[in-house]
Structure 1
Amino acid sequence: MKIQKTTAAILAIGALSGAAHAQSSVTLYGIADGGILFNNNVKGSKLYSLSSANSSRWGLQGAEDLGGGLKAIFTIENGYTLGTGALSQGGLEFGRKAFVGLTSSTYGTVTLGRQYSASNDATSSFASGADWAASGLGYGTRAGDVDNVDTSNRIQNAIKYTSPNYRGLTVGVLYSLGGQAGQFSRNEVTDAAVSYVNGPIKVGASYNFTKDPYYATFGNQGNSSSPTSAAGGNNNMASRIYGGYASAGSQQIITAGGSYVLGSATIALLYSNTQFQNLGQVNAVGSYGTKYNGGTATFNSGELNVKYALTPALTVAGAYIYTHNSGADGVGSAKYNQFNLGTIYSLSKRTSLYATGFFETASGVDSTGKQAVADFSGSSYSSNNHQLAAIVGITHKF
């Protein structure tokens, strides 16, 4: 009898342990991506390098069931360079994501930390550069990723709320604290977005307003006196396309887009309006030094892209992107045209081969007051008005 009672107790404890274990989980995930990149003109020279079309990363995400439909969640995600093993995002250990929060199917999700904007959640799927055209490399975005749809800049020190999905409708809002004593609004970010999905139709729109963008978002480490962008780091304030606007007191981005699935094809449209406002207000260390005495520089970008599944394993895709910079403070305007072309072949659910090509042309006068040159996001600018690049490689997800 004593043996039977002891055995029953052990079994009961084991069952309870199993139930407790089922209530919380931690998952390791990531991407290892390696490709051979060719760029025909990097400041006048050809470039051959080992690169990644889809940013290599690893992360941990976890959830704990708190009861009543409420869960505690966290995500920490590191970006790394496959060829050298170096950290990405300016050397941050968890530069891609680092947040903790609570989620409920009834009330939505609140998270705190370094994370993607609500704008990105609602509109990135409509952009070829954030979808299939080498999102990690950055070459496939609208000019310089000027609208941040490809998340060249994460939002740090952020409080974010995402609503539950209500009949296909989802709303997201985000606020980033500037963290400056006595200057509550300095470096702050305000962001809001809405998306709607109904069968083959998906649409989204967003609004983002950033104070002191040179420090608030273009620097990988918030409030730094010398953001990585000043030295041409992982983001694009070193870009000729808009690097001359580093002194902007604020930045406003409005984005809208949609996609439609028609059989094996997905057709997407994206429009964005980006304004660098109150030029000349911020001391931008290491910028191009273009002197603006006020005014606003406005970029209007449009994109049309199509991807088509020839077979369950083989997808081909193409995109056209147009961007117009209207100029500011008497300095002329510039136009950028870009074409992306790509194909992906899935060897399995986790492993695929890819080949993607990019071509950009430029005309007019850019943000630095000089003749506009082609300048892929994530690359150094061309010595002339066009730039051609291609990458072939392999992606493995785990």
Structure 2
Amino acid sequence: METRKMIAPLCCTALGMLSSTVHAQSSVTLYGLIDEGIVYQSNTGGANGGKRIFLDSTSGLTGSRWGLKGDEDLGSGLHAIFTLESGVNLNSGALAQGGDLFGRQIFVGLKSDQAGSLTFGRQYDMVFYFIAFLRNSGAIGTSLFAPPGDLANTADSVRVNNAIRYMSPTYRGFSYGAEYSVGGAPGNTTANSGYSLGAKYEGGPLSIGAAFQYFKNPTSSTAGSGLFTDNPNGASQLANSLNKGYASASAYQVAIVRATYAIGPVSLVTSFANIQYANLGGALAGGTARFNDFDSGATYTYSPFLFFTVGYDYLTSKGVTGANGQTVGNQHYHQISLLADQFLSKRTDIYVEAAWQHASGTSSTGAPAVADVVNLGDSSNNHQFVVRAVLRHAF
């Protein structure tokens, strides 16, 4: 009995020492952000094509989310890392990203201070990592600054499932990365698979980034697989007239380059992107739809707590000619976006943003092109105006 009484405290002490050691070598961080805004949309599709006012918490500067990230020091500069991040809709309590519990990202991996990191799971593509903070909708604005339909995924409309990602350390301002998505289709090792590459240089006032990505069979009949249908509800990014007619594409690729340059309180941004929906089926059999997107913008930092931004985007496509001789997708979009952001503290700010868009030509469905700011839905005509007023808080 005496022996047992002595052993119990010793075991507790040993466990306490072990817990302290583990705590010293590991860290787990709970974080989150709430971005809630009221939105006015001048023109919606449908028979009435009326105005719309609604609350939105998922498409602002930083869509609402909460997450956990961890880092365990394994010694010799090696770390075990993980991130679990969930998008949330404040107005309904529902999960964002089509209902995925950790729809924004969820991965685990190893990170070396000298060699970089290797991670596995649902992750962002290289457009996010090497273009995101250099693009209009990241460097100086929100998704309202993104091209119509977010064709190049610069507003992070889709993530990559079943992804293996490598990210290098930064060498004198230069970094690079690569990612491969395992398709997982039975009997076909390449279906629904894809890869992306990216690189970035940051030095002084200049930053330059480039990314390329290619996916085979980007639209899948199985919800939760394929690039455009990666969410559990199976909703596709090819839902509106801008690119709806290209859902039969068996390949999708993006090549994008962007640069920023700071001159005192002003930061300038410009980019070019080429987007292709290749090897189309149906009436467009064998055709390829090609888009070119140009954008530019500027941010003026009035003070550490107040800044203003303006952006312009031009998207154009020459269209695709089908077997019947009809050409569809000969469309052009002009968009102007504005934003003003006032910080009330380090963690809380209020901002107002607006976008106006004008469309012309023929859409991918063969009908007259209509406006579509981000992916808020087709307008009933060729123009659309959107305003969003927001309160944002980080924790």
| Equivalent position of 2:241 in the other structure | 240
2:273 and 2:257 map into 1 onto residues whose CA distance is 6
Q: What letter matches 1:21 in structure 2?
A: H
**C-alpha distance in structure 2 between counterparts of 1:130 and 1:367, whole Å:** 28
Mapped to 1, the partners of 2:375 and 2:368 lie a distance apart of: 20
Matched residues in 2 for 1:367 and 1:104: separation?
46
Q: State the one-letter code of the partner of 1:220.
A: D
Give the letter aligned to residue 116 of structure 1. Answer: Y
2:125 aligned with 1:117: yes
Q: Which amino acid aligns with 1:273?
A: N
- 2:27 is matched with 25
Distance 2:134 2:73 in 1: 33
Equivalent residues in 2 for 1:351-366, closer than 5 Å:
351-366=348-363
Q: Secondary structure at the match of 2:23?
A: helix
Which letter maps to 1:307? T
- Amino acid corresponding to residue 276 of structure 2 in structure 1: Q
Shift of 1:291: 3.4
Say if 2:306 is the partner of 1:314: yes
Corresponding position of 2:41: 39
Aligned length: 371
For residue 12 of structure 1, report the CA deviation from its aligned partner: 9.3
Preserved CA contact (<8 Å) 1:103 1:110: yes
* 8 A contact 2:134–2:207 mirrored in 1: no
Map 1:128-147 → 2, pairs under 5 A: 128-135=136-143, 139-147=144-152
Number of the residue aligned with 1:387: 384
Which residue number corresponds to residue 3 of structure 2? none
Judging changes above 3 Å, is the alpha-carbon distance between structure 1 residues 384 and 307 closer, same or farther for their aligned structure 2 residues?
A: same
Is the 8 Å Cα contact of residues 160 and 230 (structure 2) preserved in structure 1?
A: no
Instruction: Tell me, yes or no, if the aligned pair for 2:78 and 2:110 is still in contact at 8 Å.
Output: yes
Question: What corresponds to 1:233 in structure 2?
Answer: none
Hey, what does 1:291 align to over in structure 2? Answer: 283
Q: Is the contact between residue 124 and residue 131 of structure 1 (CA under 8 Å) also seen in structure 2?
A: yes
**Structure 1 residue 82: deviation in Å?**
1.0
Cα pair 1:192 1:207 within 8 Å, conserved: yes
2:165 paired with 1:160: yes
Distance 1:10 1:176, change over 3 A: closer
Task: Indicate the residue corresponding to 2:258 in structure 1.
Answer: 257
* Aligned counterpart for 1:331 among listed residues 311, 327, 332: 327
User: What does the per-residue CA deviation read over 1:304-351, in whole Å, with 9 as the maximum and x for residues that have no partner?
Assistant: 010111111110000000000121124241000001000000001110
Give how far 1:294 is off. 1.7
| Structure 1 alignment gaps of length 5 or more | 1-6, 230-235, 281-289
| Structure 2 Cα separation of the partners of residues 79 and 13 of structure 1 | 37
Q: Distance in 1 between matches of 2:345 and 2:20?
A: 33
The match for 2:292 is 300
- Which of 375, 378, 391 is the aligned partner of 1:378? 375
The aligned counterpart of 2:277 is: 276
- Percentage of identical aligned residues: 39
Per-residue deviation at 1:23? 0.7
Separation of aligned partners in 2, 1:45 and 1:150: 26
Q: TM-score, normalised by structure 1?
A: 0.89
Aligned to 1:286: none
- Within 5 Å, which residues of 2 pair with 1:40-189? 40-43=42-45, 44-52=49-57, 53=60, 54-135=62-143, 139-189=144-194
Letter in 2 for 1:274: I
Q: State the distance in 1 between where 2:12 and 2:228 align.
A: 57
SS of the counterpart of 1:181?
coil
Alpha-carbon separation, structure 2, partners of 1:367 and 1:241: 6
The C-alpha deviation readout for 1:76-99, integer Å capped at 9, x for no partner, is 100011111111111110000010
Structure 2: distance between partners of 1:101 and 1:337? 42
Q: Displacement of 1:380 after TM fit?
A: 1.3
- Counterpart residue identity of residue 51, structure 1: D
> Counterparts of 1:184-263 in structure 2 under 5 Å?
184-215=189-220, 216-221=226-231, 227-229=234-236, 236-263=237-264
**Displacement of 1:64 after TM fit?**
0.6
Please give the secondary structure, in 1, of the residue aligned with 2:303.
coil
Query: Are the equivalent residues in 2 in contact too, given 1:214–1:227 (CA < 8 A)?
Result: no
- What letter corresponds to residue 249 of structure 1 in structure 2? S
Q: Is the 8 A contact 1:239 1:377 kept in 2?
A: no
- Matched residue type, 2:94: A
| Displacement after TM superposition at 1:212 (Å) | 0.8
Render the CA deviation track for 1:91-114: whole Å, top value 9, x for unaligned: 110000010000011110001000
Deviation at 1:292, TM superposition (A): 1.7
CA distance in 2, matches of 1:92, 1:131: 27
Structure 2 equivalent of residue 287 of structure 1: none
TM-score normalised to the size of structure 2?
Answer: 0.90
Residue identity matched to 1:23: Q
Find out whether 1:397 has 2:362 as its counterpart.
Answer: no
Take 1:378 and 1:80, find their aligned partners in 2: how far apart are those partners? 18
Instruction: Describe the shift of the 1:240–1:131 C-alpha distance in structure 2 as closer, same or farther (beyond 3 A).
Output: farther
Per-residue CA distance 1:261-305 (angstroms, 9 max, x = gap): 11111111111000000001xxxxxxxxx7322210000001101
Q: Name the amino acid aligned to 2:76.
A: G
> Which letter maps to 1:344?
D
Q: What is the rounded CA distance, in whole Å, between the counterparts of 1:185 and 1:11 in structure 2?
A: 54
Deviation larger for 364-373 or 48-57? 48-57
> 3-state SS of the aligned residue for 2:374?
coil
